[in-house]
Structure 1
Amino acid sequence: MKVRFPYFDTIGMPLLGLAATVLFVAEAKRQLRKRTRSKTERLKENASVAALALPALRLLLLPCLYAAARQAEKSKFGVLYWAALPVWIRYPAGFLLLDYTNYLWHVLLHKSDLLWRFHNVHHIDLDLDLSTAWRFHVGENIASAPYRSAVVALLGAPAPLVLFYELMFEGCTAFHHSNLRLPYKVEQRLSRVMVTPRMHGIHHSIVAKETNSNYSVIFSWWDRLHNSLLLHVAQDEITIGVPSFRDPKEQTPLNLFMIPFKHQRAWQLPDGTVPEREEKFPRTRLAP
């Protein structure tokens, strides 16, 4: 299995690093949501999770996706080959389909009790910023490999497209997890096409119906298509995290690794109440 991707590693990764640096500085200067915890403490915690997750992403998931694409190419297998589309249509169509199937995977992460055990580690962060974009349990990245590889094979997505999509996937994930306050009108227009920080901030709310919305990764169209779009919640009204994990002392590296293997808690605050919010505005109206 091929594990070295020169263009991805020598061009793509430095560009991602540059984008992350710009976002890191920008979110510090233009903060969208007030922090509840020390940034330094969270950086250490999230880095400890990423230390296992990122190698799995690069050394397992990416090679699996590429191998699936190459095998489909050799056998002329997959929807995009069967449709006999010209290259100038096959690549954009493949990009959209890859993004749509990742929307479905994200929904599955929330709906499956088993997968949620791992995805929950991402959500129990008590603040949301750039570092949260890489706070994924290594088990979640491993679990995604069979699903995403099968999707690549069934679509017949070209291998170069798969690598390009992964770069865009990671870049957009960093962007919409950031705590960057964009001008409201700019983000209002942008959210019609792609996932933005305000849009994804709602997805990390402790209110269940808000967490179970805004699943899209790059394009926001999939949430509109499936009526899972929710934009009306103001950022200063959002409490980030999961209601049953409010104690910062539980955010230790060892505990974060072990959470999927422990008894799963009900979606409620420590006092037993379930967070709710009355809908005051249309769901698809972006709140400040």
Structure 2
Amino acid sequence: MKFMFRKFDTLGMPILGAAAMVLFVLERKHQLRRRTRPKKDRLVENGSVAAAAVPALRLLLVPGMYAAAQWANKNSFGLMAWLRLPKWAKYGAGFLLLDYSNYLWHVLLHKSDLLWRFHNVHHIDMDLDLSSAWRFHIGENVASVPYRGGMVALLGVPAPLVLFYEVIFEGCTAFHHSNLRLPYAFEKHLCQLMVTPRMHGIHHSIVARETNSNFSVIFSAWDRLHQTLRLNVPQDKITIGVPSYRNPHEQSPAHLFRMPFEKQRPWQLPDGTVPSREELPRQKELLP
């Protein structure tokens, strides 16, 4: 299995690093949602989780997906080969289908009780910003290897496309997790095409029907296709997190690592109430 990817490591990763630095500065100057916890505490917490998860992504997931694509390409296996598409179509359709497969994976993370145990580590963050983009339990990244590798093989996408898509995937994940306030008129149009900070902020709400919406990663079309799009929630009304995990002391790195192996709590606040919100009209219209 190949582990070193020259263009991915010497071009893709530096580009992602530069983009992250720009987002880090911009979200401090143009804040979308008011913070509820100290930034330094969250950087330590999220950085600790990422310190284990990111190497798993780079050393297991990326090589695994690339190997799956190479195998499929060599054996003329997968949808792209069976349809006998020209090269340009393999790259275009392959990019879209890779993104669709990740929409489905995200839905599965919420629907599977086992996978949710790991994904919940990401969701109990009580603020949402750039650091949240890498706050994924190592178990979730390891679990994604067979799924994402399997989808790469079934689609039969070109191996170089896997690396290109992963760079765009990570960049978009950083962008829509950021706490960056874009001009409302601009973002209202942008979210017609791709996932934006306001759109993804709704996905991190403590209101269950809002959390179970906006699963897309790059293109918002998948939520439109499956009727899981929800944009009609004002940003200043959103409480970020999971209702049963509102104690800041439970955000410690030690607890975050062991949390998937503990009994999961019901979706309710500590006082037993279930967060709700009156449904506003025009579900697919982004609100400020």
Aligned partner letter, 2:120 = N
Aligned partner letter, 1:78 = G
SS at the partner of 2:19? helix
The list of structure 1 runs, each at least 4 consecutive aligned residues, that deviate by more than 6 angstroms after superposition, is: none
SS at the partner of 1:24? helix
Displacement, 1:281? 2.3
Alignment of 1:161-200 (within 5 A): 161-200=161-200
Displacement, 1:88? 1.2
Give the structure-2-normalised TM-score. 1.00
Partner of 2:266: 266
Instruction: Kindly indicate whether residue 216 of structure 2 is the aligned counterpart of residue 213 of structure 1.
Output: no
Aligned partner letter, 1:281 = P
Distance 1:56 1:20 in 2: 20
Partner of 2:113: 113
Deviations 1:210-256 (A, max 9, x none): 00000000000000000000000011000000000000000111100
Instruction: Kindly indicate whether residue 96 of structure 2 is the aligned counterpart of residue 96 of structure 1.
Output: yes
Give the structure-1-normalised TM-score. 1.00
Give identity over the alignment, percent. Answer: 71
Displacement, 1:173? 0.1
Displacement, 1:282? 1.2
Distance 1:111 1:230 in 2: 18
Distance 1:16 1:68 in 2: 24
Displacement, 1:276? 0.4
Distance 1:79 1:176 in 2: 30
Aligned partner letter, 1:280 = L
Instruction: Kindly indicate whether residue 59 of structure 2 is the aligned counterpart of residue 59 of structure 1.
Output: yes
Aligned partner letter, 2:123 = H
Distance 2:123 2:269 in 1: 15
Deviations 1:251-278 (A, max 9, x none): 1111000000000000000000000011
SS at the partner of 1:19? helix
Distance 1:92 1:187 in 2: 25
Distance 2:77 2:260 in 1: 36
Deviations 1:12-35 (A, max 9, x none): 000000000000000000000000
SS at the partner of 2:278? coil
SS at the partner of 2:256? helix
SS at the partner of 2:179? coil
Deviations 1:66-91 (A, max 9, x none): 00000001101000011011111110
Distance 1:280 1:116 in 2: 28
Instruction: Kindly indicate whether residue 256 of structure 2 is the aligned counterpart of residue 256 of structure 1.
Output: yes
Aligned partner letter, 1:118 = F
Partner of 2:235: 235
SS at the partner of 1:269? coil
Instruction: Kindly indicate whether residue 76 of structure 2 is the aligned counterpart of residue 72 of structure 1.
Output: no
Aligned partner letter, 2:31 = Q
Q: Which runs of 5+ in 1 are unaligned?
A: none
Distance 1:46 1:6 in 2: 28
Displacement, 1:109? 0.1
